[in-house]
Chain A
Amino acid sequence: MRRVLPEALLAAVLTAVLAVPIFGLRIHVDGIDVSLDRTPTPVIVAVVVVFLLRLFQEPLRAGWARARLSITWQHPLADALRRTRRQPGYRALPWTLLLIAAVVWPFTASRGAVDIMTLALIYVMLGLGLNIVVGFAGLLVLGYAAFYAVGAYAYALLAQHFGLSFWLSLPIAGALAALTGFLLGLPVLRLRGDYLAIVTLGFGEITRLLLNNLNVLTGGPDGIGNIPRPTLFGLEFGRRASEGGATFHEFFGIDYSGEHAVIFLYLLGLALVVSILFVIDRLQRMPLGRAWEALREDEIACRSLGLNPTVIKLSALTLSAVFAGLAGAFFAARQGYINPESFTFIESAMVLAIVVLGGMGSQFGIMLAAIAITALPELAREFNEYRMLAFGLVMVLMMIWRPQGLVPAVRPRLELPERSEPAP
């Protein structure tokens, strides 16, 4: 007890040492004149806060523990929820309702909202894709935006140079991204898995660099414009049809409306998300998905049973890249133009934040997190300035307090039928 005061003082001094050079003194450059702005307030606030927190650490901890105890009433509810989610019959129901709501919603919402949701769907795809490698296989990928870029540029270039349609380009974009992931993983995954983090980080930077500098191919910093929008079985959503094409509104004999295109894109994104969800659900129940899980849990045991860790990790990375490629092609189609700025490290960090926040391995949590993170900047503009700061903090705090994420994953477990064990 008596040691609390000196420790609090020490913490306060440490805070001062940390804060003064960053927040207390600011270098002000004006031409060749260099001066120092002194801003003591934030430092003083930080020092006082840290001092008090440290001083009253014990009572605060105790209070926190009590507060936590008092909210355990939630647990029966959570348990019940988890049990219904395991029941095969009930599992489908909430998802079906959710899907119906998601399909009907755009017809009632504003155009701007639908547009933002379409963007959110892209992040859902990215989150779900990254989750395969991070959540299932337990490998960190820090340059996910690179695969996303491969997909986007693949579609843009295929459309520009060969006039390929969105629908034809989509699988090619996925395949190219997969190839990239495979080639990148090949040298790295034989080794310790955590090298993958740094190699993909580097790869992300290199990709951005190449996109910016290979002007002939990628258009450099200006990027590529005039990317055609997707069509519905050949029907276009423009006001007038391109040469030899037909438009949606003329075909159905309705008035032209800009909303058709927006809603169509949204529904297209939704369809992609639903197919990805379906694939992931199957994957989790397949030998491959089980192997990812097993590998994350105990690689040595896996090897002792003849599972080749490199192949299994590589399959996770490759599949994960496929989804980023698909998302990228869809992104290019939605934007109509792309440039390297959309594929920076910030993008990769954002997708990782989605996965971490939503709960590694949990599809539902990731969807929630993706929507929240995309919608938040739209609701609160000021958030943008602190966005990255918040992402960084969220990753650290989540790892300390809730590494399983806000909505922990419920893995589909394989169980033997009928021969039920006697009730415990």
Chain B
Amino acid sequence: MSRSLGKTAAAEPTPSPLLEVRGLSMRFGGLLAVDTVNFDVRRDQIFAIIGPNGAGKTTVFNCVGGFYRPTTGSVTLDGQPIHHLSSHRIARLGLVRTFQNVRLFKTMTVVENLLISQHTQLETRLLHGLFKTPNYRRAEAEALERAVFWLDKVGLLPVANREAGNLAYGQQRRLEIARCMITHPKLLMLDEPAAGLNPQETRDLDRLINDLRAEHGVAVLLIEHDMSLVMGISDEILVMEYGRPIATGTPDEIRSDPRVIKAYLGEE
């Protein structure tokens, strides 16, 4: 893996990557949906996975996030193996995701969606809630404040009290991102976040993702079909086809990689 010129020059010891995926495979019956995939995501990186539909990108997310148990391979987050953990434990370790088909709590309000995702940080003990102890009130008030902060950030404050299911598509996508960010993740996984967005919304998304990394110190693992977005935003790209990784590198390297060109142009 080579990087663009200036970045690797310094002699400082390379810190261990945030996410290490080694030899990851996932088999569904006769179908090898993911075939020996390796990649690293560093702490400050925006890393993209691209590839045609059915290449196994979402399945990689599902394996990394603990929704599927990988057939073989290992996944390490911050030096800790996580491939045997269940999805909610992995989420608590700071790895959260959005879904290709947005999964909001549709009948709940926008604010409530943000409160649900803070569940693990709230005062959930029964008696505290029943008697509304000061602790409990404080936790709820702080949760609301955080919700307001993030709603403001993604521009959803005016619709805070609407039912999430009634939001416009682009708003739903942003709410899903806010819902992840409010948990203070280390790594944010976005599954086709620009799908269905108009060009303006896509540009906003681009800015938002950059801003999340810059101001909130989150690494981003991204699946995306919008090439201009991917090429502009990513530090590193993994290309998959039929479950196999066919190339890894910077956007420039990927753009000029003959295998990638063949895979993409050969299909279209």
Classify A-B as touching or not with yes or no (CB < 8 A). yes
Chain A interface residues toward B at CB < 8 A? 279, 282-283, 286-288, 290-291, 293-294, 297-298, 300-309, 315, 319, 411, 413-416, 419-422
Contact yes or no, B116 A307, CB < 8 A: yes
A43 to nearest B CB, angstroms? 46
Q: Out of A282, A305, A306, A422, which one reaches B158, CB within 8 Å?
A: A422
B residues near A315, Cβ cutoff 8 Å: 126
Which size bracket describes the interface of B in this complex?
35 or more
Contact yes or no, B124 A287, CB < 8 A: yes
Complex CA distance for A421 and B109, rounded to whole angstroms: 13
Contact yes or no, B92 A303, CB < 8 A: no
Of the candidate stretches B50-58, B95-103, B204-212, B244-252, the one touching chain A is B95-103
A residues near B144, Cβ cutoff 8 Å: 416
A298-B105 in contact given A290-B116, A304-B99, A415-B111 (Cβ < 8 Å): yes
Contact yes or no, B161 A294, CB < 8 A: no
Contact yes or no, B67 A416, CB < 8 A: no
A residues near B99, Cβ cutoff 8 Å: 300-301, 304
Q: Which interface residue of B89, B126, B179 has the most chain A CB atoms within 10 A?
A: B126
Contact yes or no, A298 B130, CB < 8 A: no
Complex CA distance for A411 and B106, rounded to whole angstroms: 13
B residues near A308, Cβ cutoff 8 Å: 88
Contact yes or no, A303 B161, CB < 8 A: no
B residues near A279, Cβ cutoff 8 Å: 130
B91 within 8 Å of A by Cβ?
yes
A305-B162 in contact given A288-B124, A297-B108 (Cβ < 8 Å): no
B38 within 8 Å of A by Cβ?
no
Contact yes or no, B105 A303, CB < 8 A: no
B3 to nearest A CB, angstroms? 31
Contact yes or no, B107 A419, CB < 8 A: no
B177 to nearest A CB, angstroms? 12
Contact yes or no, B96 A305, CB < 8 A: yes
Contact yes or no, B105 A304, CB < 8 A: no
Q: Which interface residue of B116, B129, B147, B162 has the most chain A CB atoms within 10 A?
A: B116
B198 within 8 Å of A by Cβ?
no
Contact yes or no, A416 B160, CB < 8 A: yes
Contact yes or no, B162 A421, CB < 8 A: yes
B residues near A307, Cβ cutoff 8 Å: 88, 116, 119-120
A309-B88 in contact given A303-B67, A304-B65 (Cβ < 8 Å): yes
Complex CA distance for A422 and B160, rounded to whole angstroms: 11
Complex CA distance for A422 and B116, rounded to whole angstroms: 25
Complex CA distance for A5 and B147, rounded to whole angstroms: 62
Contact yes or no, B129 A283, CB < 8 A: yes
A residues near B179, Cβ cutoff 8 Å: 305
B115 within 8 Å of A by Cβ?
yes
B157 within 8 Å of A by Cβ?
yes
B197 within 8 Å of A by Cβ?
no
Query: What mask results when residues 220 to 235 of chain B are scored 1 for a CB within 8 Å of chain A, else 0?
Result: 0000000000000000
Contact yes or no, A303 B91, CB < 8 A: yes
- 27 A–B contact pairs at CB < 8 A? A286-B124, A286-B129, A286-B130, A287-B119, A288-B126, A291-B119, A293-B105, A298-B104, A301-B99, A302-B116, A303-B67, A304-B65, A304-B67, A304-B96, A304-B99, A305-B96, A305-B116, A305-B119, A306-B89, A306-B91, A306-B119, A307-B88, A307-B119, A307-B120, A413-B161, A419-B160, A422-B158
Closest chain A residue to B61, Cβ basis: A304
Q: Which 6 A-B pairs have the closest CB atoms?
A: A306-B91, A286-B129, A301-B103, A415-B161, A303-B87, A306-B92
B residues near A306, Cβ cutoff 8 Å: 88-89, 91-92, 96, 117, 119-120, 183
Query: What mask results when residues 111 to 149 of chain B are scored 1 for a CB within 8 Å of chain A, else 0?
Result: 110011101101110100110100000000000100110
